[in-house]
Structure 1
Amino acid sequence: MRSDELDFHALIDFMPDSGAIRFCGRRAILVHADSMGALRKELVETLGSEIAKVVLTRYGFSCGYEDAELLAAYMHPDSLEEFILGGPRTHMFSGIAEVAPDALELDHASGRYRMSGRWRHSYEAEQHLRLFGRADEPVCWTLTGYASGFASRVLQADMICVETACEGRGDPHCAWTLMNASDCAPELAGLREYFKPLNLRDRLNLLESRVHERTRELEASEQRYRNLIEDLPEMAFALHASGRLLHLNKAARLRLGVSEARLHALRLKDLVLPDYTARATAFLKEIAARRSTTTLDLVMRDAAGLPFPVRLQVEPVLKDDRIVGYSGLALDISAQLERERELTEYARRIESREQQIQDVINEAVYILDGQGRLSFVNTRMAELLGAAPEAAIGHAVGDFMPASSAARIERDFARRIAGEAGRPFEIALSGREGSSVVLEVNSTLFVGRDVAEGVIGVARDITARRQMERELAQANRLSALGQFASGVAHEINNPLGLVSGYAEELQALLDQCTPLGDDRRLAQLRRGLATIQQQAHRCKAITANLLAFSRRQSASLETVDVGLFVAERLAFFNDAGLTRGVELAVDIAPGLPQAGTSPALLEQVLQNLIKNACDAMNGSGRIDIAARAVGEGIEIEIGDSGPGFAPGVAERVFDPFFTTKPPGKGTGLGLSICYAIINELGGRIACGNRPQGGAWFRLVLPLAEDGPGAAKHD
């Protein structure tokens, strides 16, 4: 489609000597695009975008309508199509924009017309971008007005040009559509108002009236705001950008004892205690840097000169992106701080009470968070872990216990978190001096705010229970073995007596006989009879031990000073040569209570344990003997510096006939008899390995009953 059939060069006449330009016989002028931009800027900033759009659209409509009149008079177009295309040609000839029509529909019979195209290099879009930046809506107001006016005159119908794309809002080009006003969508019908004559004075008068009305509303609103601030129960203030006071409400003036006449001479730092002046000054600088509401706790002085804590909430007042002042509140937080102190003290008392309860019941309590790390341990659990409660927080259980025990807790944690049912389980931890502590653990989900936050576990020390179970099993086993040993001993003693008696009788007969031949054979016979007698005596000693092991002795209990008794027996053992070559280290706690025991049986046990310790060290080393009060009894501990127990041995040392000595060096009954004696005396005996090396035996004797007499224990 062509828009250049009209000869525009014949319509314009340049007369620079006379300072005139004529277009279609009328005087015209050249206007710089920036000048039109300056006019646009003035209209927008003075009247607002909406009125500026009306003015420029109406201006374009008038220009387009008049140019159509001139072309009709001077050019006499041959056809309506040639005439309507004169508008785009005029725009291009005037330097307004490059116009490219792409569709034209003219239906003279129905009076329906439609035309569309593109504008490129629109001066109006360029100026808007230069002055205001990218717009949200199309900005070629003059161009759309011109197209509407030109088409309305040419087609003798109400035509409206609508811009659908615009370089002024970032589109690659401007696109427009020209249509009958009656075909416009309802939201575009209002554009027709732009083409009516504009009474700018009336518009300005209306605008001025609205400005005055809005000003009165703002003043009334400001007064209401001032009254609201003035009557606030909290202390409110306004500051100049320099920190000087501009306003204090009534509550602030009364609380601080500052009159209205005096407040303008004060600054914020003058209202706080001297220790806080530097902090107040730095606070305003911080607000200026952050440009947002900021809080700070300070201490002010009231009208009576008494200090009171406040929390400042201050925000900057901005104008043209520049801080011109500050406004804020000073909230008295005395009651809040007191409540916080009371709540803190209450929480401390609750925590202390809970800790005391947990300590009294002597259960170990732990909580694992969602990641399986310790978030709480009570005192008992901390003792078992070997760490202070605060040092355990945030760590995995594996940092404080054997890998097998940690893995058991972790498996239980995983099941609980997964929602599976759990069962009580047992773990073992290292106790005092290398002993093992057996714990029975029960756990459940730890729920906070209706959400599972971890797992809580309670561990009960069942070491004593397990020890009692082992001792009961050991006693039952010893009882059965004792009955068996008793039977064996009685069955062996009779034939053994005959063997021993006949050997003695034969020996006596040989002594009476006169040698008749080979003396060597006679001597050999005598040696054989002596060996028979020796082994018979050894067997008799073994059967005596078997009978002693099997016999349930009736011990006569006496009140014994254990400290003195142990010291005397150790001296006796040393004089008898039992501990020759061995260093004895004795540690007897002073003021030990007396025990109810049998001195003879206790001496037998001590002698056996000391002898075993010396044998374990091959006659050289150190034996530590200690006596101390424990719970409801007295504990005697004997430790040596020997090799200690091999794995699995400590659990069997009290079994009858079990020995680690070479053949012929022991019967395996000594420790079994010790175990039976201590059990008969109502005590306990245990053994284990020392952390520094060697073995230990601990026996616990019951305290003496009230009264001087001895008790009978069956």
Structure 2
Amino acid sequence: MRADELDFFSLVELRPNEGAIEFCGRRAILLHTDAMGALRKELVETLGAEAAKVVLTRYGFSCGHEDAGLLAAYMHPDTIEQFVRGGPRTHMFAGIAEVETRSVEIDCERRRYRMGGFWRRSYEAEQHLRLFGRSHEAVCWTLAGYASGFASFVFQTDMICIEHECEGSGAERCSWTLMNADDCTPELAELRKYFQPLNIKDQIDGLETKVFERTRELEASEQRYRNLIEDLPEIVFALHLSGRLVQLNKAGRTRLGIDEAELPSLRLKDLVLPEYRAQASSFLKHSAQQRSVARLDVVMSDSAGNPFPVQLQVEPVIKGDKIVGYSGLALDVTAQHERERKLTEYAARLENREQQIQDIINDAVYILDLDGRLSFVNTRMADLLGVPADRAIGRRCGEFMLHSSALRLERDFRRRLAGGPGLPFEIAIEAPCGTNCLLEVSTAVLLTNGKAEGVIGVARDITARREMERQLAQANRLSSLGQFASGIAHEINNPLGLVSGFAEELQSLMEAIPNAAQIPDLEIIRDGLTTIQEQAQRCKAITDNLLLFSRRQSPPIEPVDVALYVQERFASYREVGLTRGLEITFDIEDRLPPVRTNPTLLDQVIQNLVKNARDAMNGAGPLRVELRSADDAVELGVLDEGAGLPAGVIDHVFDPFFTTKPPGRGTGLGLSICYGIMSELHGRITCGNRQEGGAWFRISLPYDEAGIEGAD
């Protein structure tokens, strides 16, 4: 009979009412593939993968060998090839897998046999994937054993089936080759061990020996662990799931004054002070919920009743998926708290010292982070920004300063971070008092471990320096103009005297002409000569002012009660009509110190300021006079409510011949002379516009130090 003529129903007889199944005349049973999978799992987990492979391969070999013996009586094969092809047919009849025979090579003379093919839908690969997942090697152990056993019976020589590819390792199908056992290459020779009998008793005895040895090792290790825990200087404890103490090492019992017999009656919360017991109870619940190490700072009491701080560290003990208890440490953190306290105090002192150093520096210091926001400002910088230091942190410079200045800082910030050079630059910032401060800024990249963290800048207030430079330039300019004016005055006075003298002589001659009053033309000449005389006198006054402006004098200086002096002078101005039309109010600070000045020259300056204020208000209006202390000097302010000083005028009001009055109403020398006088008096004069309208002029007069000391 040919292999393809084999019929399932001719080989199998089912007698369900008798509870019997026969295959080729011998009783058989039906098995679920899941049951075979359970057997595989049990063998692998009990004996290991290698031993399980031997058992299942031997099992398959026995099945194949027995089926071949039974099939021979039913099949009566025509040839040995047909007989060996019957193996795959019976394999499929048993539901093991779908078998495709690819080739059969039979050399009876040399007794060499080879056969190859494929298995599809292998029950064994299916079960292995279900139970263990994908394998890195072939897993159809019973199938390979069956093919080996069947072929060994047919060919009457040892045959081995080798599985090259397997569905259990991710292949689309199982590929196998059946060959003589003697033909296996050295690397396949180890496969023969899977066909050798397995002595289960020896395996079990070996496992029992290993378990016994391992148990002894574990007991010794546990004892060493207990000894180690017992001798540790830290407090170590173990808790039951309920929170009761199971173990407390020697250090803990000695430190806390607890007898070992007391442990079963104590809980963790009984070891801490009463105010911490609620925290200790909830602490264990939190550790159980998180299933991880939890920490809690509490206070315990030692055997003498002295409290000491500890940090509890508790970890759940988990077996399987259940918490069976807790293990923990109670670390004395007294020394740690003391170190932390000292470090905190030291850091606070350093920070306070650094802040004091930063604050005492007159320069403004700031740091911009990588986002261009302020991360530090010292007190000086905060004063310039007009906000407390803490309110400036995290904000941009543009929120506090002029837009042009903020853009200048931003350009330098970007250039610095890009690695560009840094050159000092100047910005203007509006101070809280309303005046503009000129700052010279120098910057550098702030580095930490070679990495840029921002830009640090130092801004120096150069407003006073610029003012001094301006005053020096003004003084130099006035000095040059004074020399020039002196020469001009002398050159003009000589011809001016001749013009005035001849005009006066002509007037005398005309008076001697008979009936001159009846001659109209002579009257016209007389009026012209009078005008020449008036204009000559005006020119003389101008040249006198020029000479006064150019004169470098060292006037006598004396102590003056400036408050009393100002009140007396304004009383005299009122008598002579200088303040006619003005509504004068005084704002004089009490107990002003005496100043050192020259009363005559000071009077000249005050008169000039009052005249200018009256002219600015067109001869009438309110005039405010202020006297107050300021920086080792007394400031005298004259404030009008006129039109104020036009833009661009303030920088030139003290220049000679500069005037805003119409032609013929001013020479432009009055304020220049005042400037020169204040320089001679070691004071200064400044001006500006009032926010409410009008202009202000202030003169600063230095204190009389001797008078102040005498008063003290």
TM-score (norm 2): 0.89
Q: Deviations over 1:431-453 (max 9, x none)?
A: 35333322223332322223332
Q: Deviations over 1:549-580 (max 9, x none)?
A: 11112211111233443444455556665556
Measure the CA separation in 2 of the matches of 1:304 and 1:153: 88
Paired letter, 1:290: Q
1:260 aligns with 2:267: no
Partner of 1:244: 244
SS of 2:326's partner is strand
Partner of 1:680: 680
Measure the CA separation in 2 of the matches of 1:304 and 1:6: 95
SS of 2:651's partner is coil
Measure the CA separation in 1 of the matches of 2:682 and 2:353: 38
Measure the CA separation in 1 of the matches of 2:477 and 2:394: 47
Q: Residues 654 and 671 of structure 1 are in contact (CA less than 8 Å); yes or no, is this contact kept in structure 2?
A: yes
Measure the CA separation in 2 of the matches of 1:443 and 1:152: 93
Measure the CA separation in 2 of the matches of 1:85 and 1:188: 25
Q: Residues 125 and 166 of structure 2 are in contact (CA less than 8 Å); yes or no, is this contact kept in structure 1?
A: no
Paired letter, 2:535: Q
Q: Residues 559 and 708 of structure 1 are in contact (CA less than 8 Å); yes or no, is this contact kept in structure 2?
A: no
Is the alpha carbon distance of 1:79 and 1:456 closer, same or farther for their aligned partners in structure 2, counting shifts above 3 Å? farther
Is the alpha carbon distance of 1:191 and 1:243 closer, same or farther for their aligned partners in structure 2, counting shifts above 3 Å? farther
Partner of 2:394: 394
Partner of 2:488: 488
Measure the CA separation in 2 of the matches of 1:48 and 1:663: 121
Measure the CA separation in 2 of the matches of 1:448 and 1:393: 20
Paired letter, 1:443: T
- Shift, 1:281, TM fit: 2.9
1:355 aligns with 2:355: yes
Partner of 1:623: 624
Q: Residues 683 and 699 of structure 2 are in contact (CA less than 8 Å); yes or no, is this contact kept in structure 1?
A: yes
* Worse-superposed segment, 553-562 or 131-140: 131-140
1:273 aligns with 2:253: no
Partner of 1:440: 440
Partner of 1:165: 166
SS of 2:650's partner is coil
Is the alpha carbon distance of 1:149 and 1:240 closer, same or farther for their aligned partners in structure 2, counting shifts above 3 Å? same
Is the alpha carbon distance of 1:609 and 1:271 closer, same or farther for their aligned partners in structure 2, counting shifts above 3 Å? farther
Measure the CA separation in 1 of the matches of 2:240 and 2:111: 71
Q: Deviations over 1:558-607 (max 9, x none)?
A: 11233443444455556665556656564444444332221222222233
Measure the CA separation in 2 of the matches of 1:41 and 1:521: 150
Partner of 1:712: none
Measure the CA separation in 1 of the matches of 2:708 and 2:140: 122
- Shift, 1:539, TM fit: 2.3
- Shift, 1:65, TM fit: 2.5
- Shift, 1:200, TM fit: 1.8
- Shift, 1:340, TM fit: 1.7
SS of 1:85's partner is helix
Measure the CA separation in 2 of the matches of 1:211 and 1:161: 35
Measure the CA separation in 2 of the matches of 1:545 and 1:325: 107
- Shift, 1:187, TM fit: 6.8
Measure the CA separation in 1 of the matches of 2:474 and 2:437: 20
Q: Residues 687 and 695 of structure 2 are in contact (CA less than 8 Å); yes or no, is this contact kept in structure 1?
A: yes
Measure the CA separation in 2 of the matches of 1:304 and 1:570: 88
Q: Residues 435 and 688 of structure 1 are in contact (CA less than 8 Å); yes or no, is this contact kept in structure 2?
A: no
Paired letter, 1:623: R
Equivalent residues in 2 for 1:279-358, closer than 5 Å: 279-358=279-358
Q: Deviations over 1:221-274 (max 9, x none)?
A: 222222222222222222233333322222222223333222332333333333
- Shift, 1:620, TM fit: 3.0
Partner of 1:600: 600
Equivalent residues in 2 for 1:518-667, closer than 5 Å: 524-570=524-570, 572-573=572-573, 578=578, 586-618=586-618, 619-621=620-622, 623=624, 625-630=626-631, 632-667=632-667
SS of 1:490's partner is helix
SS of 2:654's partner is coil
- Shift, 1:478, TM fit: 0.5
Q: Residues 405 and 427 of structure 1 are in contact (CA less than 8 Å); yes or no, is this contact kept in structure 2?
A: yes
Partner of 1:97: 97
Is the alpha carbon distance of 1:227 and 1:589 closer, same or farther for their aligned partners in structure 2, counting shifts above 3 Å? farther
Is the alpha carbon distance of 1:446 and 1:637 closer, same or farther for their aligned partners in structure 2, counting shifts above 3 Å? farther
SS of 1:555's partner is coil
SS of 1:229's partner is helix
After superposition, the CA RMSD in angstroms is 3.3
1:203 aligns with 2:177: no
Measure the CA separation in 2 of the matches of 1:89 and 1:134: 28
Is the alpha carbon distance of 1:683 and 1:14 closer, same or farther for their aligned partners in structure 2, counting shifts above 3 Å? same
* Gaps in structure 1 of 5+ consecutive residues: 710-714
Measure the CA separation in 2 of the matches of 1:281 and 1:163: 62
Q: Residues 382 and 388 of structure 2 are in contact (CA less than 8 Å); yes or no, is this contact kept in structure 1?
A: yes
Q: Deviations over 1:270-306 (max 9, x none)?
A: 3333333333333333323332223232333333333
- Shift, 1:692, TM fit: 5.4
* Worse-superposed segment, 598-607 or 2-11: 2-11
- Shift, 1:651, TM fit: 1.5
* Worse-superposed segment, 323-332 or 44-53: 44-53
Work out the percentage of aligned pairs sharing the same amino acid: 64
Measure the CA separation in 2 of the matches of 1:268 and 1:579: 95
* Worse-superposed segment, 500-509 or 5-14: 500-509
Q: Residues 593 and 708 of structure 2 are in contact (CA less than 8 Å); yes or no, is this contact kept in structure 1?
A: no
Partner of 1:70: 70
Q: Residues 24 and 71 of structure 1 are in contact (CA less than 8 Å); yes or no, is this contact kept in structure 2?
A: yes
Paired letter, 1:351: E
Paired letter, 2:12: I
- Shift, 1:206, TM fit: 1.8
Q: Residues 588 and 628 of structure 1 are in contact (CA less than 8 Å); yes or no, is this contact kept in structure 2?
A: no
Measure the CA separation in 2 of the matches of 1:547 and 1:61: 138
* Gaps in structure 2 of 5+ consecutive residues: none
Measure the CA separation in 1 of the matches of 2:627 and 2:167: 102
Is the alpha carbon distance of 1:611 and 1:177 closer, same or farther for their aligned partners in structure 2, counting shifts above 3 Å? farther
Partner of 1:113: 114
Paired letter, 1:202: D
Q: Residues 144 and 163 of structure 1 are in contact (CA less than 8 Å); yes or no, is this contact kept in structure 2?
A: no
Equivalent residues in 2 for 1:402-417, closer than 5 Å: 402-417=402-417
- Shift, 1:479, TM fit: 0.8
* Worse-superposed segment, 176-185 or 368-377: 176-185
SS of 1:651's partner is helix
Q: Residues 583 and 621 of structure 1 are in contact (CA less than 8 Å); yes or no, is this contact kept in structure 2?
A: yes
1:697 aligns with 2:707: no
Measure the CA separation in 2 of the matches of 1:275 and 1:622: 75
Partner of 2:61: 61
Measure the CA separation in 2 of the matches of 1:64 and 1:578: 141
- Shift, 1:481, TM fit: 0.7
- Shift, 1:480, TM fit: 0.9
Q: Deviations over 1:526-558 (max 9, x none)?
A: 544443333333322222221211111221111
* Worse-superposed segment, 33-42 or 393-402: 33-42
Q: Deviations over 1:311-348 (max 9, x none)?
A: 23222222222322222222222222221221222122
SS of 2:419's partner is coil
SS of 1:647's partner is coil
Is the alpha carbon distance of 1:482 and 1:230 closer, same or farther for their aligned partners in structure 2, counting shifts above 3 Å? same
Measure the CA separation in 2 of the matches of 1:135 and 1:621: 106
1:423 aligns with 2:398: no
Paired letter, 1:628: S
Partner of 2:367: 367
TM-score (norm 1): 0.88
* Worse-superposed segment, 634-643 or 464-473: 634-643
Q: Residues 624 and 640 of structure 2 are in contact (CA less than 8 Å); yes or no, is this contact kept in structure 1?
A: yes
Is the alpha carbon distance of 1:428 and 1:516 closer, same or farther for their aligned partners in structure 2, counting shifts above 3 Å? closer
Is the alpha carbon distance of 1:189 and 1:378 closer, same or farther for their aligned partners in structure 2, counting shifts above 3 Å? farther
Q: Residues 254 and 303 of structure 1 are in contact (CA less than 8 Å); yes or no, is this contact kept in structure 2?
A: yes
Measure the CA separation in 2 of the matches of 1:209 and 1:173: 42
SS of 1:663's partner is coil
Measure the CA separation in 1 of the matches of 2:56 and 2:214: 26
- Shift, 1:124, TM fit: 2.9
Q: Residues 147 and 161 of structure 1 are in contact (CA less than 8 Å); yes or no, is this contact kept in structure 2?
A: no
Paired letter, 2:594: Q
Measure the CA separation in 2 of the matches of 1:581 and 1:103: 135
Measure the CA separation in 2 of the matches of 1:69 and 1:214: 47
Q: Residues 434 and 689 of structure 1 are in contact (CA less than 8 Å); yes or no, is this contact kept in structure 2?
A: no
Is the alpha carbon distance of 1:428 and 1:43 closer, same or farther for their aligned partners in structure 2, counting shifts above 3 Å? same
Q: Residues 164 and 177 of structure 1 are in contact (CA less than 8 Å); yes or no, is this contact kept in structure 2?
A: no
Equivalent residues in 2 for 1:176-255, closer than 5 Å: 176-178=176-178, 189-255=189-255
- Shift, 1:407, TM fit: 2.8
Equivalent residues in 2 for 1:445-524, closer than 5 Å: 445-507=445-507, 524=524
Is the alpha carbon distance of 1:158 and 1:518 closer, same or farther for their aligned partners in structure 2, counting shifts above 3 Å? farther
